[in-house]
Structure 1
Amino acid sequence: MSEAKYIQPAPSSFDDAHKPKVEQLILDFRKADVELVKQELKIQAPLFEKRAEIVADVENFWFQSMVNCMAMNVYIDDADHEALSYLSGVRVERDLDDPRAATIVFSFRENPFFSDAELVKKFPLAEGAKTLEEQFNFVEETVPQKTEINWKSDDKNLCKLKPTVGGRDSDDFEPGSFFSTFFANTDTEVAGGIGHTIMVDWFPNALDFYLGEDTFDDEDFDSEEDEEDEDDEDAEIDLEAEEERPKKKTKAN
């Protein structure tokens, strides 16, 4: 029988002498995190431009990358496939001085669905947002702006044909069309959640998703969860990180 190990509980708080120093250290770490994000964006910018040039002639690169990303795929309806097949480029614009807000631009070739060459989704900071050095939650502290889409006809208007029903936490939530759920939507949880996924997950790793190197199926996901549950049944659950996943849609061929 192995010897029991005693783990001393962490103190509930620091004494008055240490508390100001600890608070300043936490602030310094947050400032360092902001600087790291700024440097990352600065270094990656020319690489993203080079990637855009390389994949410009790759048929259906951006569309296939989207549907290979499970977090994006769940919001793509089968009816979206043809329209998204005209997708020619994606870029994410963020201010290097304050990278919290974002503008996401989808570029399209001439297509029978809408006349817009670009669909621009803006996520400005919400009024009263925290300072740059404070902890920041993109979904809670940005405001998704509605993107106006100039549909060529009602029978091509995917927002009307496949509307979004309910919010992400509602029992009857149905994403409908990606154009309805993301571009036309101003819900912070739905449109904001998709925007955050694009900004920090899909867009930076679009090449990996296209090549299938950053994907996994539900079976693998479930088996990994089961193994973790067996290893530690008493593990704490991060309620903020747990998100109910909509039903997975059919991937493109």
Structure 2
Amino acid sequence: MTDAYRSPEAKTFTDALQQKVDALNKDFRKADVELIKHELKLNAPLYKKRADIVSSVQDFWFQALINCMATNVYIDDADHEALSYLYNVEVDRDIEDPRAATITFSFRENPYFSNEKLVKKFSLVDGAKSLEDEFNFLEETKPEKTQIDWKSDDKNLSKLKPTIGGPDSDDFEPGSFFSTFFENTDQEVAGGIGHALIMDFWPGAIDFYTGADDLEFDEDDFDSEDEEDEEDDDEDDGEIDLEDEPPKKRVKA
């Protein structure tokens, strides 16, 4: 089969059309930026109101962090007591340029560190794309190290539970949340946690606390699974497939 012939006129038309499509896509991206700015402006007073409401709820932010799977996997059991002193979390993004962000964790006086606030900043890397271009948070922001003033070595969770290896290594161990997030400058690890906090945890904190984000099961699906289990049991109660991975348990606080 011979290739379809394209006349010079058709090529000129296609090139002109592509230029119009590219210009339209750029206008869409500009509109998206304006929508984000407008959303941030509208939500700011609502987040302040939320902070006032949940301030009387004991362990609200700690429990929300534990219930959020994106953060839970980076929280060691040794972190629980220190995080129980957490009384507020804030995410700040510049309305004029919402790409960069600052996340502030506020703590009551505690035996672990003297900081009242642990601030994690995500600043733009040199040469970051313009505001209207497609933006990749992990690639185009850099996590800055947070200085933690530990009160003693036996309370220094970052030393007691250090982060081992990188995310792509076979021996990667997150260690303490304080080591993996606050004191870490790796774009993929600390950046990934930061992105989850900004985009998922922060807007959905109440749902994470109450567990409203849990998967809802359809009763019919549940019944069919029970019936399949009963049929499998009838076929062979003693046969075990050693190649199947055991189901992963969900961590509870």
TM-score by length of 1: 0.81
Percent of paired sites with the same residue: 69
Q: Following the alignment from structure 2 to structure 1, what is the Cα–Cα distance between the partners of residues 137 and 94?
A: 14
* Greater fraction helix: 2
Residue deviations 1:156-177 (CA, integer Å, cap 9, x gap): 0000000001111211111100
Q: Which secondary structure does the structure 2 equivalent of 1:17 belong to?
A: helix
- Aligned-residue Cα RMSD (Å) equals 1.8
1:45 maps to 44
Matched, 1:251 2:246: no
Provide closer, same or farther for how the CA distance between residues 191 and 248 of structure 1 changes in structure 2, counting only shifts above 3 A: farther
Unaligned runs of 5+ in 2: 1-12, 222-247
Q: Following the alignment from structure 1 to structure 2, what is the Cα–Cα distance between the partners of residues 16 and 148?
A: 53
Q: Following the alignment from structure 1 to structure 2, what is the Cα–Cα distance between the partners of residues 204 and 163?
A: 29
Instruction: Give the count of matched residue pairs.
Output: 213
Over 6 Å off, 4+ runs: none
Residue deviations 1:56-111 (CA, integer Å, cap 9, x gap): 11000000001111111000000000000000000001100000000000000000
Matched, 1:82 2:81: yes
Q: Following the alignment from structure 2 to structure 1, what is the Cα–Cα distance between the partners of residues 27 and 17?
A: 15
Unaligned runs of 5+ in 1: 1-13, 224-246
2:252 is matched by which residue type in structure 1? K
Q: Following the alignment from structure 2 to structure 1, what is the Cα–Cα distance between the partners of residues 249 and 187?
A: 21
Contact preservation (8 Å) 1:148, 1:184: yes
Residue deviations 1:217-244 (CA, integer Å, cap 9, x gap): 9x99xx9xxxxxxxxxxxxxxxxxxxxx
The structure, 1 or 2, with the larger RCO (C-alpha pairs under 8 Å, 6+ apart) is 1
Deviation at 1:248, TM superposition (A): 7.5
Deviation at 1:17, TM superposition (A): 2.0
Deviation at 1:249, TM superposition (A): 7.7
Q: If you compute each CA radius of gyration, which structure gives the higher value, 1 or 2?
A: 2
Q: Following the alignment from structure 1 to structure 2, what is the Cα–Cα distance between the partners of residues 88 and 210?
A: 13
Q: Which secondary structure does the structure 2 equivalent of 1:146 belong to?
A: coil
Q: Which secondary structure does the structure 1 equivalent of 2:105 belong to?
A: strand
Provide closer, same or farther for how the CA distance between residues 248 and 37 of structure 1 changes in structure 2, counting only shifts above 3 A: farther
Residue deviations 1:119-172 (CA, integer Å, cap 9, x gap): 000000000000000000011000100000000000000000000011112111
TM-score by length of 2: 0.81
